[in-house]
Amino acid sequence: MPRQQGTDHVRRALRNLLAESPALVGRTHRKQQSYWYCTSAGLAEAAESGELAGAGRTTGKRIAASKTGLREHGLALVDAVVAFHEAEAAHFADWQVEVAHPTPAGNLVPDGVVLLANGTSAFVEIDRTMSYARLVAKLERYDAYRNAPASGRGNAARAPRSHWQETYSGPSMNRPFPPVLFVFAPAQRRAAPATREAAFLERARQVSSVDYRLTVATTTLPLLTLHGADGPVWRVVGKGRGEDRCSLAALPKAR
């Protein structure tokens, strides 16, 4: 998705998808219109509608996005959002994309943050082409975010809280750190999603806070699409855990 704080463009796109409208995410810049991650079918239908000026012409930016895999990454995220929505695990409008979270090691930018139907939150990462080293580095960035020192002065009634506690714990501070969910999507010239998932599991177990302060779970986009986000599709990362998959509701809580 485009790297920006607002999510209105994503919500509009998801509404269009659910209504079987052209799968377009659009934004207006001065007198020109840009169409982000436009599929071939969507481009053709937009051109036929006559409502979107220049929709029949692809731009260099769109070609660049296609070559770098940004369009495919964005569409994989949309597929994940729809899987959560159809399973009633989270409403499609209750997502934020690429919002920066401060850590001592620099900003953490999740692919998505979702407010689940049970009122808790979860971080969602979509992988298509990232190296295992970069995936583990991002997981370590979550660890840094979790362990970031408290900010602010606090008061007599409440001690200072860290950014994640202010944002995701609620007033009582009883909620644990949100789970981090990795979804492995198909990609050309890459190993199958299940193969990449298994390799990542082995590496993620070496991150010290996993299975204690961090709840990390993985799945593949085909499994997520087939069985839904609330189905037995999640494999929990942990040193003593087996290969069984569980539902979203059965994920262990971080301590």
> Which residue ranges make up each domain of the chain?
8-68, 70-250
Closest CA to 42 of 70, 13, 81: 13
Mean pLDDT of 105-124: 93
Is pLDDT at 125 greater than 90 in this prediction?
yes
Is pLDDT at 116 greater than 70 in this prediction?
yes
Which of the four pLDDT bands, split at 50, 70 and 90, describes residue 188?
Answer: confident
What size, in residues, is the chain? Answer: 255
| Residues 132-149: tens digit of each pLDDT | 999 999 999 999 999 888
User: Of the ranges 65-69, 158-162, 228-232, 246-250, which one carries the lowest mean pLDDT score?
Assistant: 65-69
If phi > 0 it is left, if psi is from -120 to 50 it is alpha, else beta; for residue 27 that is beta
Taking CB atoms within 8 Å and a gap of at least 24, the contacts of 45-54 are: 46/22, 49/22, 52/24, 52/26
| Beta bridge partner(s), residue 180 | 123, 216
Both tokens assigned to 96:
């934020």
| Beta bridge partner(s), residue 236 | 217
Helix (H, G, I), strand (E, B) or coil at 246: strand
Both tokens assigned to 244:
């069984």
Closest CA to 237 of 179, 164, 176, 177: 179
| Beta bridge partner(s), residue 126 | 183
| Residues 34-46: tens digit of each pLDDT | 544 455 555 555 5
| Beta bridge partner(s), residue 222 | none
Both tokens assigned to 156:
């007599």
* Helix and strand element counts for the chain (H, E): 8, 8
Distance CA 184, CA 23 (A): 22
Q: Where does the chain show beta strands of DSSP type E?
A: 25-29, 32-36, 95-97, 112-115, 121-127, 180-184, 216-220, 235-236
Is pLDDT at 157 greater than 80 in this prediction?
no
Return the higher-pLDDT residue of 6 and 200.
200
pLDDT of res. 92: 87
Is pLDDT at 68 greater than 90 in this prediction?
no
Q: How far apart are the first and last CA of the chain?
A: 32
Distance CA 30, CA 188 (A): 36
Which of the four pLDDT bands, split at 50, 70 and 90, describes residue 60?
Answer: very low
Closest CA to 151 of 223, 101, 217: 101
Stated as kind and residue range, the H or E segment containing 200 is helix 193-204
